[in-house]
Each structure stands twice: as structure tokens, then as C-alpha cells.
Amino acid sequence: MLDFSFELIDDSMINIHYQYGSTVFIFTLFVRDEEWTLHPFDGILLQNKEMCAIVVTELLKNKDFHVLLARENITLSSLRTSIDLRPDSAEDNRPSSSRQARDEKTDFIEEHSFEDILELEKELVQERLAFYQDIIQRMYMDGYGPEDTEFNKVQSLIRIYKDTYERLGSLDDFDLKGKSGKRW
């Protein structure tokens, strides 16, 4: 079975079957007061708000669901749910994804010095540089050269990455080690 399927009931109602894990959940998408509303029909979702929020969040990320909305001229931003999916605690009204991203950023900043981050960036640039150098080498072996537009574009990318790597290396010259290496 597909992880997503739907059935157009009429112009104002669509039944949706969405597989999350090994379970298929049924939703109805309907128009009420000129607003499209997503309503879960499964008892497990109606009884467990956290589970419902997780499944709805994943459904909202589903590409086939996006296509359905586009075909029916429904904007994702105008879509409503029939049950309140917000967490009970009023202490933090940010979506959980932004809380998680904030926590990950905070953890990253607290656990790495500027030198660590600089080295990570240099490694990433070096990987991209090696990737494009491999591409240009293969292009050359296949008979492409400076007269080819694509070859020249790849060469330009290589120059950009080399320049970026050198500029990142020049940041090593700053005296950052004087204060425990933490710059945050």
C-alpha cells in the first residue's frame, strides 16, 4: 500500500489515507466557513494529542499531500486542523521544530570553540573542492576542455572554493586562543 492516498468525495470533502509507521490513519479534509480543515478520524489520534501532532506534522511534510493541496488550490498556510495540536504548556509557544533547532544550535555553540567551527568549515569546503576537482578531471578524460562552457563553469567553482579555503585559512592568523578558545 502507498503511504499516502486520497479520495475526492465532492468539491468540499476529501478523504485521506496516510501510513505512519505500520498504521494507516484516516483524515478528512473539508471546507467549513471557506476554510479547509484537516480532521483525524482514528481514535488513537483523537485521544492522544501528542501522537496526533506527530502524525499531522509528518503528513504536512508529505510531498504527495502537497501535490493534492496544489491540485485542489488549497494553500498549506491556510489549512486548519479540527483539534488543537499546540502543546499544553504555555511556557513556550514556539513550534517544537524551532525549539529543537534552537537547542541544537545552542548545544553546538556551547560545545565548540571558534577554532573547531573554523576547522569544520574548512573540511566542508575541502570536500566540495575535491568533489569538483574530481568532476573536472572526469570531464577532461571524456574530452571536454576550456572551450566547453560547462567545463569553464566547473573551473570557476573550483577557483571559488580554493579562494574560500584560503580566506578561511587566513582566519587562523587571529589570536583566538588567549581566552580558552571559546568566543561565544
Interval 111-144: pLDDT, tens: 878 888 888 889 989 999 999 999 999 999 999 9
Residue 4 in contact with residue 62, Cβ under 8 Å? yes
Non-local CB neighbours of 28 within 8 Å, separated by 6+ positions: 13, 14, 15, 16, 38, 39, 41
Confidence class for position 76, pLDDT limits 50, 70, 90: confident
Whether 89 has a pLDDT exceeding 60, the answer reads no
Question: Would you tell me how many other CB atoms lie within 10 Å of the CB of residue 97?
Answer: 9
Whether 162 has a pLDDT exceeding 70, the answer reads yes
Of the candidates 72, 55, 70, the one whose C-alpha atom is nearest the C-alpha of residue 17 is 55
Residue 81 in contact with residue 27, Cβ under 8 Å? no
CA separation for the pair 32, 38 (Å, rounded): 10
CA separation for the pair 7, 163 (Å, rounded): 54
Cell reading at 19 = 501510513
Q: With pLDDT > 70 as the criterion, what percentage of the chain qualifies? A: 83
Question: Would you tell me how many other CB atoms lie within 10 Å of the CB of residue 27?
Answer: 23
Q: What is the pTM of this model?
A: 0.46
- pLDDT score at 93: 52
Q: Would you list the domain boundaries of the chain?
A: 4-90, 112-173
